[in-house]
Chains A and B, each alone.
Chain A
Amino acid sequence: MSETNHSMALGHAANMEPSPYAIPSRKLAMWLFILSDACTFGAILFAYGYLRTASADWPTPFKFYPSILNVIIMTFVLITSSLTMLGAVAASKAGDKSKTMRWMGITMVLGALFAMLHIREWASMIGEGVRLFQNPWGSPLFGASFFGITGLHLLHVISGVIAIGVVARKFSNGSLSAGHVESTALYWHFVDLVWMFVVPLVYLMSIARP
């Protein structure tokens, strides 16, 4: 049998080189997306840092109640949702569809709860007079950086909740595999990871001291 005929007999896979990292392409693609997204968040957090350093009158408006308490609850919810997503990955790898759906459902509920708490925090800030380019306390760029950074993160959370819902539905009817659940989980953990930097840099560096 010629090489061409042999390849045709084996299908297209016979012509492909093995993955250099022994992982599926979708997982590698998700990692590359995550790293590029990390650079996006890195850029805006560095920009925020320099902006803040350059402004002598940067506001420190976050009181323990309601803002910091809200952030504590949000952090707990998001880290817990990462754990439940790990449960979904484990269940999907074990081939247990009902458990996978349950874990993904819990993750979606926690993600939605996080988004609601986030919006409540925004409403509270807007109620205190914070706008994109003005606020009652000091540097007018505070609002733009606060809403910009937390808004980009919120957008990722909402996108993640929608993505988990779509993947869960397609996994349940058999059109997506456990590998897809795992790739979605990678994204969700990344959203959690970004929050670990947003909380101290945006909120905790700006707490109101008595």
Chain B
Amino acid sequence: MENSQNIYKGIGRYIPVYLILLALSGLQIFLAYSKLDRNRLLAAFLAVAIFSAALAVMYFMHMIDERRSFFWSLIPATIFVLLMMNMIWSDSFRLLHMRPF
């Protein structure tokens, strides 16, 4: 809102981000055909995807131009929910092996 004048200057500002996102997608293809073992490959894929997503959120979705309180209210909470979801799924495996009946 207060930053609207700064946000909307045309798409020129976004070209570098666009090119970086394309390059990161290319990097993922390159990694896929590398000789990394499966666990390292998954970690590398997730790191590149998270970095790409962060760029998209901050620049394409203009989060960088919003108030910091907006970012701190939404993003950490969402990451926390996603991490907790991961805990629940692994717990379902524990139940399979340690079920009391």
Partner-B contacts on A (CB < 8 A) = 19-24, 31-32, 35, 38-39, 42-43, 46-47, 49-50, 54, 68, 72, 75-76, 79-80, 82-83, 86-87, 89-90, 93-94, 186, 189-190, 192-193, 196-197, 199-201, 204-205, 207
Size of the B side of the interface (Cβ < 8 Å), in residues, is 49
The interface residues of chain A lying within 8 Å CB-to-CB of B2 are 22
Interface contact A50-B60, CB-CB below 8 Å: no
Which B residues touch A79, using CB under 8 A?
18, 21-22, 25
> CB within 8 A of B85: which of A32, A35, A42, A189?
A42
- The answer to whether A54 touches B93 (Cβ under 8 A) is yes
B67 A200 Cβ-Cβ under 8 A: no
List chain B residues, Cβ under 8 A from A205: 32, 38, 41-42, 45
**A38-B49 Cα distance, complex, nearest whole Å:** 14
Q: Known: A72-B29, A76-B22. Is A86-B60 also a contact (CB below 8 A)?
A: yes
The answer to whether A21 and B61 touch (CB under 8 A), given A39-B78, A196-B49, is: no
**What 0/1 readout, one digit per residue, does chain B (55-71) give for beta carbons within 8 Å of chain A?**
01100110000110110
In the bound assembly, the distance between CA atoms of A89 and B33 in angstroms comes to 37
Nearest neighbor of B33 in chain A, beta-carbon distance: A207
Q: Is the CB of A204 within 8 A of B4?
A: no
Interface centre among A72, A82, A94 (most CB of B within 10 A): A82
Determine if B78 and A38 form an interchain contact, defined as CB atoms under 8 angstroms apart: yes
- Interface contact A46-B85, CB-CB below 8 Å: yes
The 10 closest A-B pairs by CB, nearest first: A200-B45, A93-B8, A204-B32, A21-B70, A22-B1, A42-B82, A189-B60, A196-B52, A87-B11, A193-B56
